[in-house]
Structure 1
Amino acid sequence: MEDLNTTRVRQHKMVLTDRGICNITGVCDVLSFDVAEVLLETEQGMLMIKGSDLHVSRLMLDKGEVDVDGKIDSLTYSENTGYGGKGESLFSRLFK
């Protein structure tokens, strides 16, 4: 019988095509997005995607998959350990 309490870690993979289409797996949550920035929580840490005309074209959190379209200028990772403590918000820690 399967143990339902085990958490399955998804493989994190990113495919960037012509700086315009980014297919990402291993996504735990989408924290925010707008036309200039997408902030994702992944299995490997926080991922910030910056650019212009960004759109989340496909979102399947049950499978941990996200597709982002637009002009992608940068991809930045930060560690996701330690958030939620010391009374600081995620954004204040991320933008120090």
Structure 2
Amino acid sequence: MIDPVKTKRQEVKMLNRKLLELSGVLNVESFDSEEFLLETECGFLAIKGQNLHIKNLNLEQGLVAIEGLVHGLTYLDANANEKSKSFLGKLFK
């Protein structure tokens, strides 16, 4: 049986592409007005858009709210192999 304490959980809530609320966030790796990179319980998440900014941040509870025009959300598989590391390095220099 799966241990509920170790189960990864993340909720993503978006309102009209202008407000994005996320749970299960471990860390904000990098951000600017066009792209955020978040470390979440389900892997690294890249958020792309325009005029993006943090509305609310509470890493103790794992909550982040981002405002702006959201163009896309992409989960990045950051496996231990060199291909993933070089991909992430190139993507977020």
Q: Same fold (TM over 0.5)?
A: yes
Structure 2: tracts of 5 or more residues without a match: none
- Higher Rg: 1
Count residues in correspondence.
87
Matches within 5 A, 1:15-34: 15-34=13-32
1: distance between equivalents of 2:17 and 2:77? 24
Deviation at 1:8, TM superposition (A): 5.9
Is 1:92 the counterpart of 2:89? The answer is: yes
Which consecutive aligned stretches of 4+ in structure 1 deviate over 4 angstroms post-superposition?
Answer: 7-10
Alignment of 1:11-90 (within 5 A): 11-82=9-80, 88=85
Q: 1:47 touches 1:77 (CA, 8 Å); kept in 2?
A: yes
- Distance in 2 between the 1:94 and 1:45 partners? 16
Gaps of 5+ in 1: 1-6
What is the TM-score normalised by the length of structure 2? 0.79
Percentage identity across paired residues of the two chains: 37
TM (norm. structure 1) is 0.77
* Higher normalized helix content (fraction of residues): 2
Q: Secondary structure at the match of 1:47?
A: strand
C-alpha RMSD over aligned residues: 2.4
Letter in structure 2 aligned against 1:44: C
